[in-house]
């Protein structure tokens, strides 16, 4: 079972591959699923079988059909019950499916239902990990907005090394704990106790293959609502505080708390170039409008903000001092907003490797140049009064909702 110390220490036995969008992510994921011999553990917020998403479902069914143990966990809000005929086909093929925190009749009226499974993790045969922000969702399809003219902007990584076992242990524990909760609800207490024992002893028993030789320094950062509440936020704060030259953050839903805002402003004031690539297209009322009240102080401190316009920006990545020996980068599922940092289960991979950081930096700089509209401080200050009112309403509503959950941000 993973220990807290292992979560913060970066081991040096990793090989990490950067994957942009489903056009890079899905082929790599499916190839490893098709090569799986014993075990596939998969967690995702959204599992949508439209378009290329169906190819992932087909790969899971092929694996289960040849005897591979396939566990799939989807979020009760992001996905809910998988649509037919996909659900029936997957279960008939042997894919075992669980839904994390189904909404129930009262839905989101219960604050406890705001704690979602937002991480995107897949461990194959205990030796390969996929982690990032990419759901099983075709990049040219949006469930609410239909067909997209340009692909969604997002990233994931394929990782080999010792962090894979930590991810596998964590996923195995969640699987059996969910089973135990279900058994308790159905008054199957003996089965619930057996499931809890399985959760406490969870460890991937499939073959293990380390990266071999000296590789990249990397670590897996997990956020939950028990022991690891602030781990991802603290990692950001440390890296920002240590930045000397450059910070680039791309984040889909950017509503940072006071600590993060102050850290970014202090970095800009001490001469670090801070650039933020943020959502430029309207997707959800709350996330779009609640982000904008924090822009003014950041712009006044010298932070550069670019709004991504070609398609929906879904990335949750950052790179700091990429062109130095202190290079730091992260790719994961965690937004810099209260839902991710205070309520959801999240997973980020942190990489301390100059070549990886430079590759991520190049892709982000290219996106800012080709698709990012720089936000002018004067333009921001002169935005229409109606937009300002909506921004304040969204921001106040978000803070009130956090107060209901007992959180301060």
How far apart, in whole angstroms, are the C-alpha atoms of residue 210 and residue 95? Answer: 27
Helices (H), 130-270: 163-185, 189-200, 231-242, 258-269
How far apart, in whole angstroms, are the C-alpha atoms of residue 170 and residue 158? Answer: 17
For the chain, counts of helices (H) and of strands (E): 14, 17
Active site residues: 118, 120, 125, 314, 316, 321
Helices (H), 119-202: 163-185, 189-200
Instruction: Indicate the helix (H) or strand (E) that contains 51.
Output: none
Which has the closest alpha carbon to 317: 254, 226, 229?
A: 254
Which residues, in sequence order, are CB contacts of 197 under 8 Å at separation 6+? none
Strand 128-132 and strand 120-124: pairing? antiparallel
End-to-end CA separation in angstroms for the chain: 31
Going through 252-327 in order, the beta strands assigned E by DSSP cover: 273-279, 304-308, 316-320
Strand 216-223 and strand 273-279: pairing? unpaired
Secondary structure of residue 155 in the 3-state scheme: strand
Secondary structure of residue 158 in the 3-state scheme: strand
Secondary structure of residue 116 in the 3-state scheme: coil
């Amino acid at each position: 079972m993973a220990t807290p110390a292992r979560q913060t220490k970066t081991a040096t036995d990793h090989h990490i591959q950067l994957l942009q969008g489903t056009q890079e992510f899905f082929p790599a994921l499916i190839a490893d699923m098709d090569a799986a011999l014993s075990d596939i553990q998969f967690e995702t917020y959204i599992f949508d079988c439209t378009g290329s998403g169906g190819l992932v479902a087909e790969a899971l069914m092929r694996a289960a059909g040849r005897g591979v143990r396939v566990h799939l966990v989807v979020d009760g809000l992001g996905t809910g019950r998988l649509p037919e005929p996909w659900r029936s086909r997957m279960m008939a093929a042997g894919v075992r499916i669980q839904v994390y925190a189904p909404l129930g009749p009262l839905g989101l009226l219960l604050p406890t239902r705001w704690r979602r499974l937002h991480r995107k993790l897949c461990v194959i045969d205990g030796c390969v990990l996929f982690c990032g922000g990419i759901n099983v969702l075709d990049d040219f399809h949006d469930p609410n907005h239909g067909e997209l003219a340009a692909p969604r902007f997002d990233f994931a990584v394929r990782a080999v090394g010792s962090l894979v076992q930590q991810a596998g242990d964590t996923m195995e524990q969640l699987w059996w704990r969910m089973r135990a909760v279900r058994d308790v609800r159905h008054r199957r207490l003996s089965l619930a106790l057996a499931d809890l024992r399985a959760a406490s002893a969870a460890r991937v028993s499939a073959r293990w293959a380390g990266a071999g030789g000296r590789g990249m320094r990397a670590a897996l950062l997990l956020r939950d609502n028990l022991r690891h509440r602030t781990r991802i936020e603290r990692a950001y704060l440390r890296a920002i505080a240590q930045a000397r030259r450059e910070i680039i953050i791309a984040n889909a839903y950017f509503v940072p708390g006071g600590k993060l805002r102050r850290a970014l402003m202090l970095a800009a004031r001490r001469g670090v170039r801070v650039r933020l690539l943020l959502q430029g297209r309207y997707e959800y009322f709350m996330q779009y409008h609640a982000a904008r009240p924090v822009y003014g102080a950041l712009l006044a401190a010298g932070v550069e903000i670019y709004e991504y316009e070609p398609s929906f920006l879904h990335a949750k990545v950052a790179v700091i001092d990429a062109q130095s020996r202190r290079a730091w980068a992260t790719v994961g599922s965690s937004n810099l907003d209260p839902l991710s940092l205070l309520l959801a289960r999240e997973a980020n991979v942190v990489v301390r490797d100059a070549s990886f950081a430079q590759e991520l930096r190049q892709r982000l700089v290219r996106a800012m140049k080709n698709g990012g509209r720089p936000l002018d401080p004067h333009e921001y200050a002169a935005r229409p009064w109606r937009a300002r009112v909506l921004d304040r309403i969204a921001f106040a509503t978000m803070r009130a909702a956090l107060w209901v959950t007992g959180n301060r941000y």
